[in-house]
Structure 1
């Protein structure tokens, strides 16, 4: 289905992409911490809301 060259290109692309993402993240990590303080409370609230929706769905099913 894929030629050997295409597999090599895909492997090279994935390695370079991941390396670039790690480099950019490490470069911006200090700035991200100052901009996104309290983000875990938002994640907690979102997960709690989704859990509440599932609870209501199964509770009202009967």
Structure 2
């Protein structure tokens, strides 16, 4: 089986992951860039990156710190 056929079979089997993972990464990167731009978000209104916020919340929920 040629490498192109194997690659095509991999894409067909995993199309959801092939589309979803880069999409989520792109959305997070875009969100971070918008947060850094003063034209869109003032310094005092900036929020942390969502995964960091989620980790802080999870840490708070298990009792290892403050949110």
The TM-score, its normalising length taken from structure 2, stands at 0.43
Q: Which has the higher helix share?
A: 1
Structure with the greater alpha carbon radius of gyration: 1
**TM (normalized to structure 1)?**
0.46
